Each structure stands twice: as structure tokens, then as C-alpha cells.
Structure 1
Amino acid sequence: MAVARAGVLGVQWLQRASRNVVLLGARTASRMTKDMFPGPYPRTPEERADAAKKYNMRMEDYEPYPDEGMGYGDYPKLPDRSQHERDPWYSWDQPDLRLNWGEPMHWHVDMYTRNRVDTSPTPVSWNVMCMHLFGFLAFMTFMFWVGDVYPSYQPVGPKQYPYNNLYLERGGNPSKEPEPVVHYEI
């Protein structure tokens, strides 16, 4: 009974002691502060100007997501462009994400990283790519059909075996001498 009482007192002491503990270290460094969260949806031009200033954007470039109840708030609606489209030779503050300090990140930044979706324009249009692909497949199908209709075989001579054309293995008489076989050499 005394052991159980000591355990309960120990737990209560830990609870009281942990109320005043300030968490330190890398674990709390990843926590978002209040000013990082999007604010309420801007309704007036003054609120839009404040939100544009908060995200280091010009008023002309700032456009929030529509207020459809998704929780975007005043976060800016950035163009749906992947990080592939950004200049790789520019001296970025954060080169792996191709971002500068204070620059807002896309709401779906996890989808537009360099190892995910690439939205950069292709050098060749989709019509031309599809024409090349299906043209190649049609040509290969035609060539397989031609090869099936008109087969070609490598010319071969009669099969040659060692040891007098395998005389004994093919059921020859061991007491009788087999006739000599002429092997051709190239």
C-alpha cells in the first residue's frame, strides 16, 4: 500500500513540476508562431493592404484564396508553378527550395517541390509528342506483321556430332566399325 501511495505522490509531483517547464531545443523550434498563421479573410481594401504587407507582396500582386471555408484566410493565392520553373543559377537564400527569405511559399508547397510535379512548359507540344509515340508504335507493329508474314531464317547445314556422329549413342553395333563421317571446317 505504501508503494502505491509513493507512486501516486511521485506522479503528482511530476505534474506540478512540469507545469512551469519551458520547452527548449529543436523540437519547439519547428512550431509555427501566431504571426505565421493566416489571418482572417480580408474584407476591406485596408485589410488587403495589411495582408499584402504581411506577406511582403505588392498590393497589385496580392490576391487571397476565395473565402470558401477551407481555412486559407488571408494567405496569398500564388501561381501554380513548380520549383523547376525557377532559375537554378540564381543565388537563392534557400537553394533546395529555390526561395528567398521572407518570400511566401505556395499553400501546396509539398506538391510543387522539385521531386514532385513539374509544371514547366515542355519544349515540344503534346500533339507532336503523341504523334511521334503512336507513329513509332504503328511502325513497329507493321514491322512485326511483315516479319510474321515473311519469315527469314539463317541458312544452316546438317547437324554434326563428334565421335563418328554419335554412332554408339544412336544405337549402332559396337562390334561393327562405323563408316567414316566427313566433317566440314570453315
Structure 2
Amino acid sequence: MAAIVRVANKSVVTKYNWPVAYQVVRNHWNKDWKPGPYPKTPEEKAAAAKKYGLLPEEYEPYPDDGLGYGDYPKLPLVSGEAKDPYYPWDFPEHKRNFNEPLHAYANLIGEDRFDVSAKPRYSLLTQVLCFVGAVGGSAVIYYYLDDKRMFRPVLPKQYPAEGVVHYTFEPAQ
């Protein structure tokens, strides 16, 4: 009973929640990581390049087409599989360095996701022809065999004589 009273005591419960409260009032909210407005002048472009740790010559924002990327840099599309596994990465599990900006589609091109730089085994034409051939062949076989029903050949039940009852549910005499 004493343990229940200790846990129910508000001062004991809130004593362990101070890291959560500290995290809430700190300055790293989603609004702090939101990209700024699309840069229109060269000065704004240079400031955005400095913000993302890029040289002004390297910095190119996404086009302002209303998708909301703002001043976020348009980085080359390189998946995790294409990066050097022997390079001394700061975060080797993600193959990225500290303060390196993430790609806008980073959740799609990780090592455990789609490899955009991989050469497909078969060309797109071969894939489409194989698909159409398999589905079309199945459809042709189905429509050809649709009227040829398959069933288990069974004759009607045979009785010893016509009109004679050969069983009864009456008790034996």
C-alpha cells in the first residue's frame, strides 16, 4: 500500500518528467526546421546556401511550384547503396556526415529502400511484354477452357432393387 501512495504522490511522478518539460520549452520545434521562403534575390540565395552549409555555386533550390519546399536545396538523387561503404562516415548506419543536409526524399532512398542508381536486370519493354504475355496467356487459356467443365465422374447411387426398401430405421425384432 505504501508503494501505491508513493507513486500516486504528484511530486514523485513529476520529479521524473523534467527532461520532457525541458525538451518542450527548448527551441527545437518543427517550426525551427521548416524551410524558409523561396529565395528571389542573389543575397537571399547566398544566405540560404550558408544556412544549409553549401557553397553559393552549389546551391540550387527546388522550383517554386507550390509544393512547399521553399529554400530547401535541390540535392542530387543518390541512394544509400551508391555511397562508398568504406568512407569514414560520421553516421555509418545512414551513410551521412554531421551537418550534411538530407535529401527531400531521404525516407525513400535509404539503404533499406529503393536504389535509384541501380540498373534494372531487364529493360522496361521486356518487363511489359512479359507481363502482357503472362496475363494475356492466362486469359486466353481461361476463355478457351471456360465451356469445358472439369468434374469428378460419379454415377448415381445403386440400389439392390427398384421400389424395395433395403434399410429402415425401425428397431430390430
With the shorter chain as reference, the TM-score category is 0.5 to 0.7
Among 90, 112, 121, the alignment partner of 1:93 is: 90
Which runs of 5 or more residues in structure 1 are unaligned?
Answer: 1-20, 135-186
Following superposition, the deviation at residue 34 of structure 1 comes to: 4.5
* Structure 1 residues 101 and 32: CA distance shift in structure 2, 3 A: farther
What secondary structure does 1:109 align onto?
Answer: coil
3-state SS in 1 of match to 2:44: helix
In 2, distance between residues paired with 1:109 and 1:97?
10
CA distance in 2, matches of 1:113, 1:67: 26
Match of 2:66 among 64, 69, 74: 69
* TM-score normalised to structure 2 length: 0.54
The corresponding residue for 1:162 is: none
Measure, in 2, the Cα distance between the counterparts of 1:41 and 1:98: 29
In structure 1, give the amino acid aligned to 2:83: R
Correspondence 1:11-30 to 2 at 5 A: 23-24=21-22
Residue in 1 aligned with 2:103? Answer: 106
Per-residue deviation at 1:58? 1.0
Cα deviation digits, residues 91-134 of structure 1 (max 9, x gap)? 11111111101110001110011111102243x8745xx59xx8
Gaps of 5+ in 2: 1-17, 131-173
Counterparts of 2:29 and 2:112, CA distance in 1: 25
Residues 67-97 of structure 1: per-residue CA shift (max 9 Å, x gap): 1111111000111221111111111111111
Paired position in structure 2 for 1:151: none
State how far apart, in whole Å, the 2-side matches of 1:32 and 1:83 are. 27
Larger radius of gyration: 1
Equivalent residue letter for 2:21: L
Please tell me the root mean square deviation across aligned C-alpha atoms, in Å: 3.2
Secondary structure at the aligned position of 1:24 is classed as helix
- Mapped partners of 1:76, 1:112: distance in 2: 17
What SS does the corresponding residue of 1:50 show, helix, strand or coil? helix
Q: Using the aligned pairs only, state the percent identity.
A: 46
Question: TM-score, normalized by length of structure 1?
Answer: 0.50
Alignment length (residue pairs): 111
CA distance in 2: counterparts of 1:83 and 1:73, whole angstroms: 25
Q: How far off its partner does 1:57 sit?
A: 0.6
Whichever residue aligns with residue 22 of structure 2, its letter is L
Go from structure 1 to structure 2 and tell me whether the alpha carbon gap of 1:23 and 1:113 turns closer, same or farther (over 3 Å shift): same
Deviation at 1:33, TM superposition (A): 5.5
Distance 1:74 1:82 in 2: 22
Runs of 4+ displaced beyond 6 Å: none
